[in-house]
Amino acid sequence: MNKKTWFFGVLCVTSLFGYAQQKTDSTQVEQLDEVVITDSKFNLKRENSGKVITTISQEELLQLQGKSIAEIINNTVGIEINGVKSNAGQNLNYYVRGGRNRQVLILIDGIALTDPSQIANDYDLRLLNADQVESIEILKGASSTLYGSGAATAVINITLKKASKEAISANLRSVIGTNQSQNDNNYSVADFRNSVSINGTLNDFNYLASFGNQYTDGLSAISSGQESDPYNAINGNLKMGYQFSEAFKINTYASFDKFKADFDDGFSGIDTDDISTTNQYRLGVNSEYKYKNGSLTLNAAYNDVERSIESSFPAEFYSNSFIGDLFNRYNFNNKFYAVLGVNAQQNEMESFTIPFGSSNLEQSIKPQEATFTIVDPYLNMVYVSDFGLNINAGARLNNHSEYGSHLVYSFNPSYREDFNFGYLKALASYSTAYITPSLYQLFEPTYGNSELEPEESATIEGGLEFQFKEKATVSVVYFNRRETNFIDFVDLGSFVFQYNNVADEFTASGLEFIANYKVLSKLNLNANLTYTKVEEDLNLRIPEFKVNAKLDYQLFSNTVLSLSYQYNDDRNDMIFNNTTFMNDTVVLESYNLFDFYLSHTILNNKLKLFTNITNIFNEDYQELYGYSTRGRNVNIGFNLSL
């Protein structure tokens, strides 16, 4: 069957279901009293928020066991994470509303995480173990007012699991599965994922200790490779907290995340024995003091990253960052809320490479030069009226040690009209964002440019959301983002390349449609569609249309079935032409994927058995040109709670 026919057939079916009455993203069933927090730092009911926010709950994560965090987020409307369908160690690219990695900010337990040694200063989601995650909240659009530089297209707020209320409890999870391309048919076990956690609460003291590992083999990084390229990751996390009084509590944590990924020379298409390793160490504290009408919160974290590349061009990178966020939440009268805070961070990096004519690693970026500090005071206010009008507005003054001061702001009104069947909400927003160049872009001796100016963008959003009480939710949002001072890797001629600001303005726009419908008491349909229009110079690997759909069926009280579908439209990719020494554009054809999930709970809901079949029809497609793509694969596992 023609792939376009598949796409439009599924689109029509989901639209017919959705137009009748529905819900809010292919990842979850919404309830009237759902609470969101990322868009305001307050616990607000969803109907009072001026944004369409995706929340992935623990219940939903339990139905996605065996998948990585990047794979799970990739089903969200407006998001394309490139690399999740390739070799397990493949680099990840985040394309949110036509943006890039540097425009997406990752939060873990409310604190921003970045890697100053990365080109895009972004956080690598491969470092995170999905078994440690309690929930995920995804806010799209410019959010620099609340979260600072980097929050231009999305904020992904990941909350890690907390301690049980019992004195001691434990959780064991194990998954085994295959890992093969479309051309393999041996179905040998090559994917192993295990985790264990012990946690509990003793009077006012709570604790959690967890450990996880993943080993995946069997698939070459490049499609023409003959040798497999394994991926091995381990994660450890220790959290301790103490409730000093009803008003004051403090939580601390320490964690390490490590992975080792074999990879090939994708530039030349040669099967090599290259290795990439990353070690991350984090220390953090969260404290909260509550008073009559508000609370004072301090989030602080220190992050240290070590990366090394063993290849024909070996390199080592070291970076550290400190981030502190102190903010006061105040509730004036249950209609007017305000957050006043200050965010401070310091980033530093160094690198070692082999200069031309040498055979040893030498320092190429010096930490005393490659460092900057940011101190940002910010104010955000929320007004929730008793006649349907809601306003979320704020401003932030970025104070950068290299670039001085810059003001960003946002204005996000919405209006909700209640009806017997539910409510209708209209929303709009205008927000600006500010992205400073990374330390690598500034100070790398060959490609860096110390004259770079920060990127700036302005985003307009407008949309409608219908909710039919506990039956369904439908929403449609239009977005338009204008970017200036865009930083690109520019060919200066004579084989000289450098990071430069591009003089042209760029625009990314599109539509996001979400339709979630409780078809029957035991059958839920969740679907979303994204249309993204990006100017030709920036549309690398971004599908114009993307569809996600998911049917969940409660077969018995302890048995759940799920069928998932994803359509990705044609995408452009680049390949280096050895004859012309230029990049040629290639078109990657559209594809359709179907996945199946089954779980069954026994032993008084303490033991869950589950299985996943991904790419059921073994669709033959390319996610990245020249790289391997996973075919049909199967995994089975269990989750034991004690």
pLDDT single digits (tens) 18-41: 333 333 444 443 344 678 888 888
Task: For residue 12, tell me if it sits in a domain.
Answer: no
- 557 conformational bin, left if phi > 0, alpha if psi -120 to 50, beta if neither: alpha
Task: For residue 423, tell me if it sits in a domain.
Answer: yes
Question: Residue 485's pLDDT is what?
Answer: 92
pLDDT-derived band at 576, boundaries 50, 70, 90: confident
Average pLDDT on 608-630 reads 94
Model pLDDT for residues 420-469, shown as the tens digit of each residue: 989 999 999 999 998 999 999 999 999 999 999 999 999 999 999 999 98
Question: Residue 35's pLDDT is what?
Answer: 84
Task: For residue 494, tell me if it sits in a domain.
Answer: yes
Average pLDDT on 521-539 reads 91
Phi, psi of 72 (to 5 degrees): -65, -45
% of the chain at pLDDT higher than 70 = 94
Which CATH number is 450's domain given? Answer: 2.40.170.20
The winner for highest mean pLDDT among 7-21, 140-154, 245-259 is 245-259
Residue range of the domain that includes 327? 29-641
Place of tokens 């470092």: 127
Question: Residue 328's pLDDT is what?
Answer: 96
Write out the H or E segment, with its range, that includes residue 145. Answer: helix 144-147
* pLDDT value at 7 more than 90: no
Task: For residue 4, tell me if it sits in a domain.
Answer: no
Average pLDDT on 541-570 reads 95
Q: Which of 27-31, 175-179, 307-311, 490-494 has the lowest mean pLDDT?
A: 27-31
Closest listed residue to residue 159, CA positions, set 86, 109, 225: 109
Q: Exposed (0-12), middle (13-18) or buried (19+): which is 308, by Cβ within 10 Å? A: middle
In the chain, the number of structural domains is 1
Q: What are the residues whose beta carbons fall under 8 Å from the beta carbon of 236, sequence distance 6 or more?
A: 210, 211, 212, 255, 256, 257
pTM summary value: 0.91
Task: For residue 21, tell me if it sits in a domain.
Answer: no
* pLDDT value at 5 more than 60: no
Question: Residue 581's pLDDT is what?
Answer: 66
Task: For residue 1, tell me if it sits in a domain.
Answer: no
Mean residue pLDDT of the chain comes to: 90
Cα end-to-end distance, the chain, whole Å: 48
Secondary structure tally for the chain: helices H, strands E: 5, 36
* pLDDT value at 322 more than 70: yes
Average pLDDT on 316-329 reads 96
Question: Residue 24's pLDDT is what?
Answer: 41
Model pLDDT for residues 395-406, shown as the tens digit of each residue: 999 999 989 899
* pLDDT value at 276 more than 80: yes
Task: For residue 282, tell me if it sits in a domain.
Answer: yes
Closest listed residue to residue 439, CA positions, set 343, 346, 340, 324: 346
Question: Residue 46's pLDDT is what?
Answer: 83
